[in-house]
Structure 1
Amino acid sequence: MSLDKNEVKIPELVMGVRNLAALKACRENADAVYFSVDRLSLRSRAQEISTENLADFVEEIHNNGMNGYLAVNSVIYPDNLNELDEVLECAASANVDAIIAWDPATIIKAADKDLRVHISTQANVSNQVTAEFYRSLGASRVVLARELSLAQIKEISEDTEIELEVFVHGAMCQAISGRCYLSAYLLGKSGNCGECSQPCRWEWSLHSDNGAIVDIEGKYLMSAKDLCMIEHIPELVDAGVDAFKVEGRLRNPGYTATISEYYRNALDLFKEGKYEKSKVTPLKERMALEYNRGFSTGFYFGYPGPDSLAYDFDMNASPVKREAVGVVTNYYPKKAAAAVKLLEQGLETGDTIIIEGNTTYLEQEVDSILHEGEKVDSIERGNEIGLAVDDVVRKNDRVFRINKDIARQ
């Protein structure tokens, strides 16, 4: 939806989350989150949110001032219809802010329950006529196909009233949105039904007609680099984009925290009129410390070439390593402190640690270490220590140390 020249709308930052810990990791920076339950989603295989705890999860989203969008974007077969009714009924009861869908059955049934609908990128919406068609069905937003250029997006935005959302960061599918059958063909696990095994990320070799192996650069012949558009926010806004979407329903909370923080920083710079490439390029460099396959701009500036493929990246790569340290054995809220058993590694003051659990995510520096009532600067594994913590942690949460040589500054 195109804006008046004098009106600048800051796009909504929409983060993908897999659980409560990931939600907490981005609550300071995201405007909205999207997520799935354990049924009828393209990421159902890795979900820790279910119809049973959906209401509590959505309440936590709203308590943090964010919108919550539930993805129900798998193909719906006849034997899925009753299950679809159950999921949508739970969504309505939980007061989700929108359903992300593309199957007409889901769109119709969601509308019947007065649920707002965002059209999934699986619908491959690639022009304004299609966008207006979905608006006529009651949809309030479309997540455009990833295969569009900025020029095409701008043309669409100038000729439709529906909100436009685009992916700005994260994994790129090798196939056209909603059209991949490779996982289903090779393994019987359909990517369109939430079971993609990502064979495009495997090592492949190329053979000639006579069986000889063709010598080519790299081993991951179909693995696309990750999308990263943090250096092009003005162009996206100028194209009429209403929401920035970050892939991440399979990502750990640390990834969610980092990416949301740096995109929020970039959006704030843009809002304040201080956005410059020299200021956002360092943000991109810091994001590269999280798991990624290298970065590209996807289709935004034209059809991707050979440099958009991650030939030499083994699935995900990151120079930052998390080293397991131990486990939380107790939490003392009045003292804002935790007892930690050092099972795998020792600790030193100044170390950067992550404390993570099903509902916990906390990253902080170790300011002091208490052992047997005395402050120490370092301690070996096998000991139980006390640590001051910046937020609530829980018994059995895992404690990790970030590799000091390459941790972000």
Structure 2
Amino acid sequence: MGVRTLVVTDRITERVEKGADILLEADPDDFGAVLSAIRAERPGRISGVMSLGYDNPPVVARLAAELGCPGVPVEVADLCTLKDRRIAALDRAGLPVPRFAVATTADAALAALDRIGLPAVVKPSDRTGSLGVAKLDGRDTARGPVEQALALSPTGRVVVEEYLSGTEHTVAGFALDGVLRVTGFADREYGEKERFFPHFFEGGDTLPSVLDAEQRAEVVRTVQRGVDALGLTTAVVNTDILRTPDGRVYLLEITCRLTGARIATEVMPLATGIDPLPNAVRLALGRPLVEEELRRTRDRAVVQRYLPADGGTVGRVGDLAELARTPGVHDVFWGLDLAPGTVLPHYRGGDEVLAGAITTGPDAAAAEALALDVLSRLPLHLTDRPGTRPAPPEPAP
């Protein structure tokens, strides 16, 4: 595309080293650290700033403003990322959101449960991903998760939300002049959502969706309303949607970044043929998007499935190359840095995935069966669990 890349990351891997023209080490979620690293490098004029799925729109927006690049306004990036501001803005706009309260103390959060009801969910308002997110199922057990969420929040603020049941979906795309252009629609796999209660386990993503065309259209209309409410005039869009059994659609999350965990950049393109990355680069550079690249060119069943870490010590870890050559396997990968002696954590959130697989098949069920089979055959031995390895998740019924 005629551009050179300066990559800032706190996890330098072989893949990153191959892809970067200039590579700098800094925390991508720390605006000051990133800016200092760039200025120390003196790379010359920077023409655009973007995140490759990392949930740091406020940092990206501030860098763009500081460096004179195109970008989402800082106030919009903050609105899309800070959970307390976002849910309040969506609520004011009349969007369907869970009942919620914002609290700065554990007592205030517990008092909010009287209005919100149980079960509920607590989230640090200014942490990304699933860090500190927990289910609350009783007043007598809620204080611990609430205090943990408060401790994880840099500003000491949590959101307490009504717990909703239903199917969850990811909608990805671009807002162009305020109009949403969808590039991917996936189902989020929560067959074992409460396996690690009070933490939530997401097993991966599935394409195509189980929703029919009319149901998907209703979801997209809700996302468009969210785009309007948050002022996402020109931006990359990523959303988390929940649809209840009675058909009500709730907008749980909407933010101005590429969907992470390789979903927007690999899983969705594998299914649809739509690769959003070149257009995301163009958007960051202030160039016009190429409309032809927003059109679906294939319809393939693709799943990504994860194996959670669940304790133990690594005795032996092997090469994944042979598994990766299995027909239908796009990739199989470790989610953690593993070596003999590595002590595995007990799962508490999305950063504690042991391994994952991206697979294709004639339909979603076949692709999922292949992914689970691959994850059951990982070359991994745990010394404190002789002859065993962590069990892969069971297929959803």
Same fold judged by TM-score > 0.5? Answer: no
Q: TM-score normalized by structure 2?
A: 0.31
Structure with more contact order per residue of length (Cα contacts < 8 Å, sep ≥ 6): 1
Q: Which has the larger radius of gyration?
A: 1
TM-score of the superposed pair, with normalisation by structure 1:
0.30
